[in-house]
Amino acid sequence: MRRVVRFRVVALVAFVFAGAVSAMAQAPIVYKVTVPEPEHRWLQVEATFPDIGRAPLHLQMSRSSPGRYALHEFAKNLFEIKAYDGKGLELALLRLTPSEWSASGHDSTVRVVYRLYGDRIDGTYLAVDTTHEHMNMPATFMWARGFEDRPIRVEFAPANPAWKVATQLFPTADPLVFTAPNLQYFMDSPTEVGPLSFRTFTLANPDGKRFEFRVALHHDGTDADVDDYAANVEKIVREEQAVYGEFPDYDTGTYTVIADYLPYSNGDGMEHRNSAIVTSRLSIANPQQRMRVLGTVAHEFFHCWIVERIRPAGLEPFDFTRINMSDSLWLAEGFTQYYGNLILARAGLVDVNRAASDLSGEVNGVLNGSGRLFRSAAEMSRLAPFVDAARSVDRTDFETTFISYYTWGLAIALGLDLSLREMSGDKLSLDDYMQALWRVHGKPGGPAPGVVAKPFTLRDARDRLAEVSGNRTFANEFFDRYIEGRDAPDYATLVEPAGLVVRRRNAGAAWMGQFGTEAAGPGVGITTLVPPGMPAYAAGLEQDDVIRSLDGDAVSSPGRLQEILKRHKPGDEIKVEFVRRSGPVTATIALVEDPSIEIVTLESTGATPTDAQKAFRTAWLGTHQKTLAIAKGKALASETIFPWASWATCQQSSMTMY
């Protein structure tokens, strides 16, 4: 299919458009959602498939979900299913696989009624109780193969008639009825039904087109807390618009942040085409916690460009029946991670010290992560099906052979951003690269909502860098070394123009390695894998071993282990006695200096940055928006004000979420 897209784009678009028009002329698939017993945490779906001909209908529960990269087998929560024809006569259902059924002998209409249990509030699953209905569509709605282009109509009957609906689905005159043009859009449209607090604000693109942004919160705070949260979301949205210079053309003219901040929520964030789901146990009633959840919002909103429209080829079209693998999550997720944190700095929500600290942890994970011995960033991306909320009962060695594509991608983004600035005299930045990806792969759109016509490949990403930098040699070397290779940039040199310093976190400290420990009877047990390349690994220590003595002294706690290390210096050799599965062992550990690094400001070291460094830092981390006053206690309404002369040299960022 992708080969056809590449070489026959015009013909394909014409064909798909004609197909879309034909599909819209067909009767829609209709879903009705009811919650007869919310206290028992299940809902009922009635799905009607009309005008389907006389062939057996192939019904499917999804096995995967947009924004997730592993299998989740949503059919496991379906506990009752019946099928009827258009006259109400019950049909025999044949279960073909754990996720597939066949209904035959019908009269060209099949009505399926099924029940689903759900009790996990996050971006992937279904959650139903007496407080709300939280629906990720692949976890909730059965669909029919061969009818993916049919329009869809969904009707909600809330357990509480006072509840409202938040979704990116297309609205109708009935506030409980919504539509979708096709299955791809429908499945990418999470929906929250509950006692929601709404706030809205309106922003404009350079061409004057206006879009409404909504926050819909299920929370335990006050109206004032919601006002403050929404005001900060607007700051984030403004700064992210500055990266690309414009908002996408949201299909309904609206973008919605759907949030559950409840003590029984699971921490998560999930991007969607015109919306995002963010969930957390943190409370917006607590000012510190309210600030902490904004990083997830910054990350997920950035995805409405990258991933949702600038889409990796491996994720388009999304196949709900299998794992969807990509070699570009270092860019799709990692660059979004980078922008998430720095957007908070540019929006004035964190200071430069916090921004530097957030970068430190991620960069340290790459520079000192043993996973870089085994795989490149592109290869780490391909492992997402095994690590992205995937479950297994057998032990793996991912602790030591895997570095998250979020972490590695952030480090690559930082290196590329500062490299572009350095080579261009601060005339180019990562923003220019993101804008190029947007112009070529995102903005052209697709033949229908939820469909992307020009997803990007690794080669495309390399070509865009060559175009932006004007230097094919630079682009090839960067990709060869840092993306498809295992090198790491020279961060100490790259951050210096911004008045930042890379230094050892524990300079002069003796170190035997980084691994988990716990008291284990008369000794200290190792609870995690010992990474290759560390002194403890060279001495033969490994997970489940129990250290009995170090340097001749008995150890009975992790604290005692650290006390002994503190009396030594790098270069010392000390004896370790431990017990492994095969029995007692005595070995020698050659201690080294702790390699952990941190990124700090020059000011924190007692030095003063130069005027040039201050200017560079402002150009990198400073705002590119003029903030408007926002009235508290009201629906937000404002207009974007852009410093258009400088938007092409805006900044970047980093945070942590899906």
**416-461 tens-digit pLDDT:** 999 999 999 999 999 999 999 999 999 999 999 999 999 999 999 9
Q: What is the pTM of this model?
A: 0.90
Partners of 260 in the β-ladder: 218, 279
100 found inside a domain: no
513-530 burial, b at 16+ Cβ within 10 Å, e below that, comes to bbbebeebeebbbbeebb
Q: Which two tokens stand for residue 161?
A: 């008639």
Partners of 585 in the β-ladder: 578
431-455 burial, b at 16+ Cβ within 10 Å, e below that, comes to bbbbbbbbebbbbeebbbbbbbbbb
Q: Which residue has 């049919």 as its token pair?
A: 150
CA-based nearest residue to 253, from 212, 304, 214, 215: 212
Distance (Å, rounded) from C-alpha 299 to C-alpha 344? 10
CA-based nearest residue to 110, from 48, 58, 154: 48
DSSP state of 276: E
DSSP string of 483-506, one letter each residue = ISS-----HHHHHGGGTEEEEETT
What are 542-563's pLDDT values in tens digits?
Answer: 999 999 999 999 999 999 999 9
CA dihedral 532, 535, 538, 544 (to 10 degrees): -70
State yes or no: cis peptide before 317, omega within 30 of 0: yes
The pLDDT score that the predictor gives to residue 25 is: 67
Q: Which two tokens stand for residue 145?
A: 């193969």
Number of domains in the chain: 1
Using a pLDDT cut of 90, give the percent of the chain over it: 90
At position 54, the amino acid (one-letter code) is: R
The length of the chain, given as a count of residues: 658
What are 223-259's pLDDT values in tens digits?
Answer: 999 999 999 999 999 999 999 999 999 999 999 999 9
589 found inside a domain: yes
Question: What average pLDDT score do residues 603-624 get?
Answer: 94
Distance (Å, rounded) from C-alpha 219 to C-alpha 293? 12
Partners of 591 in the β-ladder: none
Q: Which residue has the higher pLDDT, 626 or 217?
A: 217
237 found inside a domain: no
The pLDDT score that the predictor gives to residue 7 is: 32
Distance (Å, rounded) from C-alpha 558 to C-alpha 220? 39
Q: What is the maximum alpha-carbon separation in the chain?
A: 84
Q: Which residue has 């010992």 as its token pair?
A: 530
529 found inside a domain: yes
Q: What is the 3-state secondary structure (H, E, C) of 320-381?
A: CCCCCCCCCHHHHCHHHHHHHHHHHHHCCCCCHHHHHHHHHHHHHHHHCCHHHHCCCHHHHH
Q: Give the mean pLDDT of the chain.
A: 91
What are 559-606's pLDDT values in tens digits?
Answer: 999 999 999 999 999 999 999 999 999 999 999 999 999 999 999 999
Question: What average pLDDT score do residues 624-641 get?
Answer: 38
Among 196-200, 219-223, 389-393, 631-635, where is mean pLDDT lowest? Answer: 631-635
Question: What average pLDDT score do residues 403-422 get?
Answer: 97
**Cα–Cα–Cα angle for 267, 269, 271, rounded to 5 degrees:** 165
Indicate the helix (H) or strand (E) that contains 408. helix 405-424
Question: What CATH number did the domain enclosing 524 receive?
Answer: 2.30.42.10
Distance (Å, rounded) from C-alpha 390 to C-alpha 385? 7
Q: What are phi and psi of 383, to 5 degrees?
A: -90, 0
Among 8-17, 210-219, 352-361, 433-442, where is mean pLDDT lowest? Answer: 8-17
560 found inside a domain: yes
Q: Using 50, 70 and 90 to split pLDDT, how confident is the model at 390?
A: confident
If 0-12 CB within 10 Å is exposed, 13-18 middle and 19+ buried, where does residue 464 land?
buried
The pLDDT score that the predictor gives to residue 392 is: 84
Distance (Å, rounded) from C-alpha 153 to C-alpha 150? 10
564 found inside a domain: yes
CA dihedral 236, 238, 243, 249 (to 10 degrees): 110
Print the domain residue range for 517: 510-593
Query: What is the C-alpha radius of gyration for the chain, rounded to an integer number of angstroms?
Result: 27
153 found inside a domain: no
Question: What average pLDDT score do residues 603-615 get?
Answer: 96
Helix axes 334-346, 294-302, angle to 10 degrees: 120
